Chain A
């Protein structure tokens, strides 16, 4: 498929940045919903934007799409300032959480909605191609309410991709789907986005989703970006205590210089007998997850084998492999 991105790469040979956000801010009353956010998105890249509910990630997305006015800052797409461009002229595709399909239109009419500029035959072939891309060729003439939730979201994706947008924004597209469907669809969507080389931002509150899908992960809290990095860096070298806790299971152990060591379960070895106590344990398939209270008062989380493991209240020794630990500041 012809990607518009590659075309534009030829126009701006030196520029590999698809989206640049500079100091974007928005307040509601005295509350800062989005607070001085800056980052860039490269061509063909997929950034997952993750954070707790109400942290401003959806608002940030809507400002990029032009659906929400911003108080300060600027947005560039392909180096053009689009801050005051209305959404219909930004060429940015958006997939909403759910229910944004047009209930009065059939699936094919939904997908063709943004293709008014094409000739009838071009439109038809484009709709067919999109349906094939999201593997829904059989349901073209159905109405949205006759589809399952997962199918609806694939139609929404096809509809947003059909006009070949410069970039795609996906606002928690899987939030309302059940787990099994979600895993499948997640993979499918990522493949489609990569196959079309569409630079994308996917908003989620699910850290697993964020880490597995994104080329880079952006973690947001209280309107501020905390860290934008590859999943590995965000997981292993979180910029602060919040990021560390948000992207994975972490225990925090005070170290000599007054900072906190980020202890992941795989940093801990657990042996039976000793002065530490198992506070809780839960079955997690191949392993068991233990919470252990140590003699120095700190608590760590560790994984152990399912068979012949410890039980709650058992005495044990939790040894932290300290040499590889990443430290964060106590505050925040």
Chain B
């Protein structure tokens, strides 16, 4: 359901264009800086890589990406179908819990799983690409779940009812109607999973899986060759972009939902046995994806308390939590503000605007450490030309850190808000203009209020992502500024898992609350739309 704005006479105003281009360029600058180091390709590095690791890296990356995206699709779509099509006890709570794995950072889930599984499987057996994929699936499937659920809800009952009156039972109706109609949503969810897998470093390293992203780090930090690392990173981005474009192309002329359904699908009430079956299945997934990590972490936290070295690595929980929260709030404000501005400016500037706005999303398709160094170089360049007067230095300042984080996570805000603005009726915008409102007033009084729930949802998703963020914060944080994720890193880099437990638990708790807010916002958004 893409609604393009009618071309209401918008003057191609120079200040508007300037703001738009400047903002996108600023957000894209870290990636541009990294990419520009490719100017002279390092051939020797490539031939060396081809001869040794690169084929294996590519093979493992493809295997991992396929398995994780496939697994997430099956798990995410299946669960989304169960919670939308059927009614069973505690459905809302179960739905929320099914999304909460998002709150568990990959590097935490990774070490929890590695440790949990190395008991029965042994240290050697546990380090396999398949278990790595499984660990990634149980942390990443909620992306597909969220999108699929929204799509199933928006489809309503009409198409599925029609299918049933045409002699197709409920199960086959799912495969022949609901599933194909949800394809754009499933593609969007899979794209996020794909990005996460391609840019993951923490989890794959724990399981000894050597992916291209891991290769970027090897080349960069092993040999200090930034150019070659950048080339590899671009290989990642380009292949991800190609895959996503390919899927869009394959959809051709088919449009998947003509309009939101009049009749929301009323969940099917099931017989007792089936009901317990479904609840059991959901609970099993929750147990694996959420309960196991939380129980293990709690266990470690108690261990650390018993052995009395809980405070060795870091100070109080509150210091770190407040640091994390301050950072999350500030970055959310910047990202949401920037996302709104870019989205509004872009949709008044036609297809070129859309293309440029994509630039602002690049940071999300790169491994975190790459963006971190890109942002570092950008900020240092600003410092050198004295962008901020009075000897204030951006690198290592709170503002610099927020900027760096925003360049990576702007995409999350932008995409969410842009989708929300898509739902604003073009006629509402048109009538506001005919009532004499200027573009800026239309934005403030018509478009934004209508996209309000998208803003809330984007903020919640940002909160979840930012709580977990590590590489950028680690490299660019101010002195004495220690977030929860930095605490976890300090402990785990010394293999002191027990001491990482408390900050991990706090991160998970905050993330779970944000996930709840996200779900509520999405559901409210769906109501507004229909």
Contacts and interface: CB of A to CB of B under 8 A. Distances in A.
In the complex, A touching B (Cβ < 8 A)? yes
Given A103-B181, A103-B254, A145-B258, A92 B165 contact: yes
A113 B165 CA distance: 11
Contacts of B181: 102-104
B252 to A, nearest CB: 9
Most buried by B among A86, A94, A99, A100: A100
A62 B166 CA distance: 14
Contacts of A101: 159, 162, 258
A260 B232 CA distance: 89
Interface size class of A (residues with CB under 8 A): 20 to 34
Contacts of A31: none
A33 B435 CA distance: 43
23 contacts: A67-B157, A67-B164, A87-B161, A88-B165, A88-B166, A88-B170, A89-B167, A91-B167, A92-B165, A93-B165, A96-B161, A99-B159, A100-B158, A103-B159, A103-B258, A104-B180, A105-B180, A113-B166, A114-B166, A114-B168, A145-B255, A146-B253, A163-B166
A159 interface: yes
B165 A94 contact: yes
Contacts of A113: 163, 166, 168, 176
A80 interface: no
Interface of B: 157-159, 161-170, 173, 176-177, 180-181, 183, 253-259, 261-262
A94 B173 CA distance: 16
Interface string A39-80: 000000000000000000000001001110000000000000
Interface in A137-191: 143-146, 156, 159-160, 163
Contacts of A280: none
Contacts of A156: 162
A65 B160 CA distance: 13
Contacts of A144: 255, 258
A96 B158 contact: yes
Nearest to B169: A88
Nearest to A67: B161
Most buried by A among B165, B168, B177, B259: B165
Q: Which 4 A-B pairs have the closest CB atoms?
A: A114-B166, A100-B162, A100-B158, A94-B165
A196 interface: no
Nearest to A112: B166
* Dominant SS among interface residues on chain A: loop
Contacts of A160: 165-166
Interface of A: 62, 65-67, 86-94, 96-97, 99-105, 113-114, 116-117, 143-146, 156, 159-160, 163
B167 A67 contact: no
A65 B165 contact: yes
A163 B159 contact: no
Contacts of A97: 262
B159 A100 contact: yes
Contacts of A66: 164-165
A100 B163 CA distance: 9
B254 to A, nearest CB: 5
Most buried by A among B166, B181, B256, B262: B166
Most buried by A among B161, B177, B181, B253: B161
Contacts of B170: 86, 88
Contact of B165 (A67, A104, A145, A146): A67
Contacts of A93: 165-166
Contacts of A99: 158-159, 258-259, 261-262
Given A86-B169, A163-B167, A96 B162 contact: yes
A40 B201 CA distance: 69
A146 B253 CA distance: 9
B167 A94 contact: no
B446 to A, nearest CB: 25
B256 A104 contact: yes
B254 A87 contact: no
Contacts of A145: 255, 258
B166 A143 contact: no
A89 B168 CA distance: 8
Contact of A87 (B159, B164, B177, B259): B164
Contacts of A86: 164, 169-170
A88 B177 contact: no
B509 to A, nearest CB: 38
Contacts of A88: 164-170, 173
Contacts of A159: 162, 166
Contacts of A65: 161, 165
A29 to B, nearest CB: 14
A86 B169 CA distance: 8
Contacts of B257: 103
A103 B159 CA distance: 9
Contacts of A90: 165
Contacts of B256: 103-104
Nearest to A92: B165
Contacts of B162: 94, 96, 100-102, 156, 159
